Structure 1
Amino acid sequence: MMAPPKDRYNGVWLIFFMLGLGTLLPWNFFMTATMYFTSRLAEPTSDRLAPADSDGEDLAPYNVSLGNDTGMRSLEPPRTQLQSKFNNVMTLCAMLPLLVFTCLNSILHRRISQNIRIAGSLVAIFLVFLLTAIFVKIEFSPVTFFTVTMIKIVFINSFGALLQGSLFGLAALFPASYTAPIMSGQGLAGTFAAFSMICALASGSALEDSAFGYFITACAVILLALVSYLALGKLPGMDSKLLPLLVALRLVFLPLFMLCNVLPRSYLPVLLAHDAWYICIMLLFALSNGYLASLCMCFGPKKVNVQEAETAGAIMAFFLSLGLALGAGFSFLLRILV
């Protein structure tokens, strides 16, 4: 049993929370997106409106509702076989690999290192979601799309089972209180997926664009869970060289924001056109800002003598304000460069 970790600012707690969120988030995102998946399984139709015949009979086997003044009937095609069976087959393709790989994990943990099982599973899940987002923009026949989707569900739940079993094994090496954030993260997964879908639909975008943003959001969360795991055991301490490095790395956000869909623009191309990119970048920007700024403000006064701590705190507050002012000023220059 490992000695209880020195958990500065609940950093380890938050990491386990993110990892718990990452275990069930993939499956919840797939379950919540059934409207998108079933819409891709519909047979292509060229006309959604057709008049009734002279005898008042339907011209095709469609679900019919009378129009108000147009004398036309709004036609909705019946559900196809693939659409009708989607939820049942999806559940089967999810639960079977979940059961199998949960059992296999008791054997694999002795043959495959913990880092590979956890980080490798997160990378695999991230790649599946990235492919899912890309496939939103690619046309498939209903049968091909159905098959590809089921294969992705099998992979998602196989790696999810390995991730969940390995994560609880990792938590067992820590004090019992670190199991609670894993359960809390898993509990949030369903709510987060539903909230993301509501936001995607409320955006008013076409179903294709909403689905793309929805799956990119999942990619961002899984990536954040992976980064959280890699940070476990490497949390920046007061004397850590990692802290100034992470602060300097935040400069990468400047070109990323400039390549988003900011209009009007005169010079730079738009490489990150969808709003989902901007949201994900802003999410990472905000989280890193709050976390790193808090560490700097907490560690700074402790680097000097006790009698100088108050002065150091005041100086740090001044430079924090100076940074905000300089950022506001340089924003005009960056806007011109765009």
Structure 2
Amino acid sequence: MRMKSPSPPADRGHVVALVIFTLGLGTLLPWNFFMTASQYFNKRLNTTCNDASHTQAQDYNYDSWMALLSQLPLLMFTLANSFLYQRVSERIRVAASMVVIFLLFSLTAVLVQVCMHPDTFFSVTMATIWFINMSGAVLQGSLFGVVGLFPPRYSTLFMSGQGLAGIFAAVAMLCSILSNADERSAALGYFITPCVATLGALLCYLLLPHLEFARFYMNGAQNEKVEASHELLGSTEKKSAKDLEADGTRVTAREQSPERSSVLAVFKKIWLMALCVTCVFAVTLSVFPVVTVRVQSVYEDASWGRMFTCVCCFVVFNVMDVVGRSFPSLVQWPSKDSLLFPAAVLTRLIFIPLLMFCNVKNSQLSVLFRHDLAFVAIMALFSFSNGYLASLCMAYAPQFVRCKDCETAGSLMTFFLALGLALGASFSFLLGKVV
């Protein structure tokens, strides 16, 4: 007799939804805090310990190097995580990654108060960015795999949390700009913030297995194995071995095995979603932030000039990105099987020339969109489409595979997401020189 699979418990108080949202926030804190602090790092690289102008002005090209050295380890270790998850437990991967991120953010906060030669500071900062994103890759891949075990709306919540990380960093930077504290104290407060947030995310992760709703889905593969064994026992009660041979329907242990599919087999099912998420982030990173941070306001007000990049570039991008990531909770169009979906992804290529023709400082191109409002409108559409299409890609991919392969699909999607970021960061060197 076949046993009915138990119905899922309720997510009481939406606690699991809140925890997954917070974990999404924690995964992208490193990238967003180093990106949003672009002005701080560029100024620090052009000053001496006495805060005087650096005599040998050197273009360190911080934004492009920061993007590239963030995405290369993300790409490499996300791929490694696709195989690592079978050998190292998920709890060790997640906890260890968060501890490393916390320690490296603490180091960055300490260096705010330490006088260093610009060359040395650049080398230490780039090394920190490399290792913090290496840990972030393992963390993100592991958590995407976990979230893939839950219903699709939780993938959307996780992506929304990632979008909030950008708002979190942008608001923290805006507060430091508006504060009356000296530059070093403001920067110290800015980098202490992600230390506290990372600890909060770690506590949320440790809480997750203790919640009934989460346990039900995280143990889904085990439940499926039990159900399969009951089905096998029920069928053997009805048919003898001889009957099964006669029908040609002998059920082998291998067919009922709960083993996961190979990475290649899973990729063959999700390849279109993987290519789509690669394209989405390649377009985004090719111009953001290397081109967008160079756009200037047409107004000559000094106070607005200090806030323009933070507000119109980072705040607008991250707010609309979160709106885009959250929108699939209401509408999921185009559908995962529609040809309109990859067409919509390719349409985002138009944003590259649109942003390059904005009011970029010392641009070699003609300025077609000079006014601040034009830049804000383009940034809003650019960021909304990034969040919306990326969220759909990550939510659709697990729907093409079996429950037991969701973690592999999540890890693979994270790898291709990182591939898109790395390709975009590499292309940003070229676009930075063109404009």
TM-score interval (norm. to shorter): 0.5 to 0.7
Q: Contact conserved, 2:19 with 2:205, CA < 8 A, in 1?
A: yes
Q: Contact conserved, 1:125 with 1:222, CA < 8 A, in 2?
A: yes
Q: Rg bigger for which structure?
A: 1
- Shift of the alpha carbon at 1:78? 7.7
Amino acid at match of 1:117: R
Partner of 1:28: 32
Deviations 1:206-262 (CA, angstroms, capped at 9, x unpaired): 11101100011111111111110011122499xxxxxxxxxxxxxxxxxxxxxxxxx
Q: Measure, in 2, the Cα distance between the counterparts of 1:158 and 1:175.
A: 28
Q: Contact conserved, 2:49 with 2:117, CA < 8 A, in 1?
A: no
SS in 1 for 2:86: coil
Q: Measure, in 2, the Cα distance between the counterparts of 1:84 and 1:133.
A: 21
Q: Measure, in 1, the Cα distance between the counterparts of 2:206 and 2:76.
A: 27
Q: 1:140 to 1:47 in 2, by over 3 A?
A: closer
Q: Measure, in 1, the Cα distance between the counterparts of 2:18 and 2:149.
A: 17
Q: Measure, in 2, the Cα distance between the counterparts of 1:2 and 1:144.
A: 59
- Shift of the alpha carbon at 1:177? 2.3
Q: 1:131 to 1:5 in 2, by over 3 A?
A: farther
- The aligned runs of 1:70-89 (5 Å cut-off) are 80-81=57-58, 83-89=59-65
| Equivalent position to 1:199, from 175, 195, 199 | 175
Q: Contact conserved, 1:126 with 1:223, CA < 8 A, in 2?
A: yes
Amino acid at match of 1:161: A
Q: Measure, in 1, the Cα distance between the counterparts of 2:122 and 2:188.
A: 18
In the superposition, the TM-score normalised over structure 1's length comes to 0.57
Partner of 1:41: 45
Q: 1:115 to 1:47 in 2, by over 3 A?
A: closer
Residue 129 (structure 1) aligned with residue 133 (structure 2): no
- Shift of the alpha carbon at 1:159? 1.1
Q: Measure, in 2, the Cα distance between the counterparts of 1:155 and 1:235.
A: 32
Partner of 1:61: none
Q: Measure, in 1, the Cα distance between the counterparts of 2:51 and 2:39.
A: 21
Q: 1:171 to 1:79 in 2, by over 3 A?
A: farther
Partner of 2:116: 140
In the superposition, the TM-score normalised over structure 2's length comes to 0.45
Q: 1:2 to 1:21 in 2, by over 3 A?
A: farther
Q: 1:187 to 1:234 in 2, by over 3 A?
A: same
Deviations 1:165-214 (CA, angstroms, capped at 9, x unpaired): 11111012222222121011011111111111001111121111011000
- Equivalenced residue count is 209
| Equivalent position to 2:148, from 153, 172, 188 | 172
Residue 224 (structure 1) aligned with residue 224 (structure 2): no
| Equivalent position to 2:22, from 2, 6, 18 | 18
Deviations 1:288-309 (CA, angstroms, capped at 9, x unpaired): xxxxxxxxxxxxxxxxxxxxxx
- Shift of the alpha carbon at 1:47? 9.4
Q: Measure, in 2, the Cα distance between the counterparts of 1:106 and 1:125.
A: 20
Q: 1:45 to 1:131 in 2, by over 3 A?
A: closer
Q: 1:229 to 1:79 in 2, by over 3 A?
A: farther
SS in 2 for 1:232: helix
Q: 1:203 to 1:47 in 2, by over 3 A?
A: closer
Structure 2, unaligned runs of 5 or more: 214-435
Amino acid at match of 1:211: A
Residue 159 (structure 1) aligned with residue 135 (structure 2): yes
| Equivalent position to 1:105, from 59, 77, 81 | 81
Amino acid at match of 1:80: A
Runs of 4+ off more than 3 Å = 1-6, 45-48, 76-79
Q: Contact conserved, 2:45 with 2:60, CA < 8 A, in 1?
A: no
Q: Measure, in 1, the Cα distance between the counterparts of 2:166 and 2:212.
A: 31
Structure 1, unaligned runs of 5 or more: 49-75, 238-338
- The aligned runs of 1:1-338 (5 Å cut-off) are 4-44=8-48, 80-81=57-58, 83-235=59-211
Q: Measure, in 1, the Cα distance between the counterparts of 2:144 and 2:77.
A: 15
Deviations 1:101-137 (CA, angstroms, capped at 9, x unpaired): 1111111111111001111111111111011111111
Q: Contact conserved, 1:3 with 1:174, CA < 8 A, in 2?
A: no
Q: Measure, in 1, the Cα distance between the counterparts of 2:31 and 2:134.
A: 11
- Shift of the alpha carbon at 1:77? 6.1
Q: Contact conserved, 2:27 with 2:140, CA < 8 A, in 1?
A: yes
Q: 1:232 to 1:194 in 2, by over 3 A?
A: same
